[in-house]
Amino acid sequence: MISKKNNSATAQSSIVIKDTELISVLQALPIGVFIHHKGKCLFANTEACTILEEKSIKHIIGKYLIDYIIPNQANLSLDRIKRELRGEVLKNKTYLIKTAKKNEVEVDLKTTTVFFNGSNCLQTTMTNVSAEKKLAEESLRARLAEKTNDVLVNVIRERNATEAKLNTIFNTSTHIIWTVDKNFKLSSFNQNYYNQMFDFYNKILVIGLDYKKLYKSIFNKSDYIYWISKFESAFKGENIIFETKKLLDNGDYIYREIFLNPTFDNDGTVSEIVAISHNITERKTNERKTQEKSAKLVAIFESSTHLIWTVDKEFNLIECNNNFIKTFHDNYNATPILKKPVHLVLPKEKQQTYKSYWYDLYTKVLNGNSLKFERTQFTLEGEYSVKEIYLNAIRNTNNEIVEIACLAHDITENKIFEKQILEQSAKLKAIFESGDQLMWSITKDRIITSFNQNYSKSVFDLYGHYPEIGKAVGSDNSIKYHPYWDDKYMEAFSGKKVEFISERKTLKGEVIIRQMILNPIKDAFNNVIEVSGIGFDITENKKNEERVSQSLKEKEILLKEVHHRVKNNMQVISSILNLQSSYVKDEYALSLLKECQNRIKSMAYIHESLYQTKNFEGVNFSEYISTLSKNLVHTYSVNTKNVKLVLNLSDLFLNLDLSIPCGLIINEIISNSLKYAFPSKKGGIIFVNLTVKNKLVNIEIGDNGIGIPGHIDIKQTQTLGLQLVDTLIEQIDGSLKLERNNGTKFSIKFKI
């Protein structure tokens, strides 16, 4: 098992900082100090500026120090510097320099190495040993050396403290930090880098580890080439910045931003690469969310049917969507340009009008107001449009107004619809107030929501007060009617249409009769929310109905009297024929009188039925057939024990025009059966069947007697009875069929 150890490198820190503490110390020295890199001066203190007689230090920075030494001593001074850097102890030697004022000054030069502003540099001290100071040269040098030593001791102490601070930062930073030398060896790293390599790749780091071998063991070929190419670019002196993405075991990604910064040797070659990595996963996540949100906003911005635009404080158009561009072009035949005031793209004759309207509104918003208004315009083709417009201020983090957000949407159809509604409302109001009907509506709490003038007048006439919108229907004067009306309203609120008659007496004593209709009013979810009421004055109608009813009663009495008298007259005729028959001795004549008497009775029964019923429109024909057939059996004194009457009758009502001929037909056929079907008092059955289907009446009349002889043709017979049957069948537009099997059966069919 590989154990995880704290192997954080504590080698030379490669964090780049500016050594302000060293500079402040050097500025206080009484000798000239120069720090230079590759011969070019990077720093000079005030005393150095004095010795060289320069106006200011900035005139020294960037110059080559060798240029101040007189030409014949330049090479000697360079050689001495190299020897001192190798550690040789040399005797003191002075050099002549030429100052900015062309004066020659004798100076003593001493050079050491120093780490300055992230680079290995040379520090040269310059002591003025001109002729006027030569007498005190030795003592001065001793004092200066002592003071310089003290200063350098302090500098070393301070630099050690600084290095300790840097090491603390190096290892406590949340960043991952490591360095790689020019041989691709790991030269230093902090604890975060060590932990990452162990946690992700199970690798233990040590100083001097071959970096290329390390990366080959943890990366695939393409990733290895990618990383090594980045380091190779950094070793060429470039500052490299790039991002990496790693898939974790839980499926999430971790993103890092990598900085590769080269550090240089004295000769200007790259000696190491300082690598810094910090976690940018949260930033990338926020960027992705921002991009997604931005994409959605752009989609909304462009897909919306609204016009969207923004202008800045100078009225320049900053943003706009395609709908704004299209509408602007339709209205002005011009295309707006971003970052410019919109009026500039218009013809000059239209610019002032545009500015007067829009810029005045924009100014109000810049003063802190939010505006909402409607604007009517006509396109160049004359098309009418109305837009609802919103203008609101956009503020920065300091609550300062920086732009104006503008949104407009087309409400032309709404306006047209509103106009139609107003027109329709006016028509409905005219209908509502016209006519004699009462109209009103109430809520479930019995609160009045609307009513017309007729309703208002009616309430006043009945109860002495006027109704009011928003107040309950009814009053103390109408309290005795409340239960009745509550029941009606409850029925209507259950979803039913309610109709009833209301009779009331006004305060003046006038009786008013109204037909009331309550209708439920439902919402979009089919819930009853209100009930509307309509009342029609039917007082005159009721009076007319009473008059008509009275007239009908009188006519019914008259009709009954007519039918009664007709029946009585027929009975008188029948009685006369009966009396006459008592004086007739001839059997044939006597039978003729009896047949006539039966025919008269069949018609009299119909008038008797009409007299007894309240319905003069029809006769209960089923009852009539039963009465007639039984009377005929009785008339012919047939023994009911021998001849059985079988009736199978459906309910049927016939008017007078059909009842009389049908009654005569039945009378003739049954009479014929009673007379001829059963000779020698032989027994048998006489039957009558009555059925009705789809307004087609079928009457079957017959017997099981001896039957009508085959040579008799009912169409050509000489007997009055059968001739009468044939004639009456034609009168009712019916059909007649005769069957002679096992007796006689007449089938009669006609429509009603």
Is 601 within 8 Å of 631 (Cβ atoms)?
yes
3-state secondary structure string across 398-462: CCCEEEEEEEEEECHHHHHHHHHHHHHHHHHHHHHHCCCCEEEEEECCCEEEEECHHHHHHHHHH
Question: Given this model, what pLDDT does residue 520 score?
Answer: 93
The DSSP code for 715 is T
List Cβ neighbours of 563 (8 Å cut-off, separation of 6 or more): 607, 608, 610, 611
φ and ψ at residue 290, rounded to 5 degrees: -65, -40
- Please, is 649 exposed, middle or buried when counting C-beta atoms within 10 Å of its C-beta (0-12, 13-18, 19+)? middle
Measured distance CA(78)–CA(109) in Å, rounded: 11
User: Which element (helix H / strand E) includes 643?
Assistant: strand 643-649
**CA quadruple 212, 216, 220, 224: dihedral, nearest 10:** 0
Residue 9 has pLDDT above 50, yes or no: no
Instruction: Report which listed range, 68-77, 126-135, 332-341, is most confident.
Output: 332-341
Domain residue spans of the chain: 20-166, 173-285, 323-415, 435-537, 618-752
pLDDT band at 728 (very low <50, low <70, confident <90, very high): confident
Q: What dotted CATH number matches 618-752? A: 3.30.565.10
Least confident of 197-206, 489-498, 713-722: 713-722
Give the position of tokens 């006004």.
506
Residue 297 has pLDDT above 80, yes or no: no
Measured distance CA(113)–CA(452) in Å, rounded: 109
Q: What does the pLDDT average to over 381-405?
A: 89
Q: Which residue has the higher pLDDT, 471 or 173?
A: 471
Is 37 within 8 Å of 65 (Cβ atoms)?
no
Residue 388 has pLDDT above 90, yes or no: yes
Is 193 within 8 Å of 286 (Cβ atoms)?
no
Question: Given this model, what pLDDT does residue 4 score?
Answer: 41
Question: Given this model, what pLDDT does residue 1 score?
Answer: 34
Is 630 within 8 Å of 643 (Cβ atoms)?
no
The DSSP code for 696 is E
CATH (one of 3.30.1330.10, 3.20.20.70, 3.30.70.270, 3.30.450.20) for 435-537: 3.30.450.20
Side-chain-facing half-sphere of 560: CA atoms under 13 Å: 11
Under CATH, domain 20-166 is a member of which superfamily?
A: PAS domain (3.30.450.20)
Q: What does the pLDDT average to over 232-239?
A: 90
**Packing angle, helices 587-612 and 621-635, rounded to 10:** 150
pLDDT (tens digit per residue) in 594-651: 777 777 777 666 666 655 665 656 778 888 888 888 888 877 765 556 788 999 999 9
Measured distance CA(424)–CA(418) in Å, rounded: 10
Residue 707 has pLDDT above 90, yes or no: no
| 313 three-state secondary structure | coil
173-285 CATH fold: Beta-Lactamase (3.30.450)
- Comparing C-alpha atoms, which of 443, 440, 439 is closest to residue 529? 443
Is 649 within 8 Å of 690 (Cβ atoms)?
yes
Q: What does the pLDDT average to over 325-354?
A: 90
Q: What does the pLDDT average to over 273-302?
A: 80
Q: What does the pLDDT average to over 431-442?
A: 82
Q: Which amino acid is at 276?
A: I
Q: What does the pLDDT average to over 555-562?
A: 59
- Comparing C-alpha atoms, which of 153, 188, 136, 149 is closest to residue 167? 188
Residue 229 has pLDDT above 70, yes or no: yes
Q: Which residue has the higher pLDDT, 508 or 430?
A: 508
Question: Given this model, what pLDDT does residue 391 score?
Answer: 94
Partners of 123 in beta bridges: 35, 112
| 182 three-state secondary structure | coil
Least confident of 82-86, 346-350, 419-423: 82-86
Tell whether the torsion through CA atoms of 490, 491, 495 and 497 is positive or negative: negative
Question: Given this model, what pLDDT does residue 6 score?
Answer: 43
pLDDT band at 12 (very low <50, low <70, confident <90, very high): very low
- Please, is 442 exposed, middle or buried when counting C-beta atoms within 10 Å of its C-beta (0-12, 13-18, 19+)? buried
Q: What does the pLDDT average to over 445-465?
A: 89
- Comparing C-alpha atoms, which of 51, 76, 54, 73 is closest to residue 63? 54
Residue 705 has pLDDT above 60, yes or no: yes
Residue 716 has pLDDT above 90, yes or no: no
Measured distance CA(371)–CA(495) in Å, rounded: 46
Question: Given this model, what pLDDT does residue 611 score?
Answer: 54
Tokens in use for 318?
Answer: 């900053």
- Comparing C-alpha atoms, which of 704, 631, 640 is closest to residue 667? 631
Tokens in use for 293?
Answer: 């949100």
Measured distance CA(232)–CA(230) in Å, rounded: 5
CA distances to 175, 299, 622 from 294, rounded to whole Å, are: 30, 8, 91
Least confident of 68-82, 106-120, 423-437, 735-749: 423-437
Q: Which residue has the higher pLDDT, 712 or 144?
A: 712
pLDDT (tens digit per residue) in 642-687: 788 999 999 998 887 888 888 888 888 888 888 888 887 778 899 9
User: How much is the mean pLDDT over the chain?
Assistant: 81
Q: Which amino acid is at 711?
A: H
Query: Please, which contacts does 670-675 make with residues 24 or more away whose CB atoms are closer than 8 Å?
Result: 670/628, 670/629, 670/632, 670/701, 671/595, 671/598, 671/632, 671/636, 671/721, 672/721, 672/722, 673/701, 673/702, 673/703, 673/705, 673/744, 674/632, 674/633, 674/636, 674/638, 674/643, 675/591, 675/636
CA 177 to chain centre: 53
Question: Given this model, what pLDDT does residue 606 score?
Answer: 66
Least confident of 88-102, 187-201, 207-221, 625-639: 625-639
φ and ψ at residue 139, rounded to 5 degrees: -65, -40
pLDDT band at 309 (very low <50, low <70, confident <90, very high): very high
Domain 323-415 class, CATH top level: alpha beta
Is 13 within 8 Å of 165 (Cβ atoms)?
no
Is 284 within 8 Å of 310 (Cβ atoms)?
no
CB burial of 500-535 (b: ≥16 within 10 Å; e: otherwise) equals: eeeeeeeeeeeebbbbbbbbbbeeeeeebebbbbbb
pLDDT (tens digit per residue) in 462-478: 888 898 988 888 777 67
**Packing angle, helices 539-581 and 587-612, rounded to 10:** 160
Is 61 within 8 Å of 149 (Cβ atoms)?
no
Instruction: Report which listed range, 486-500, 577-591, 602-616, is most confident.
Output: 486-500
Q: Which residue has the higher pLDDT, 145 or 82?
A: 82
On the question of a common fold for 20-166 and 618-752, the answer reads no
Least confident of 21-25, 52-56, 609-613, 647-651: 609-613
Q: What does the pLDDT average to over 348-368?
A: 92
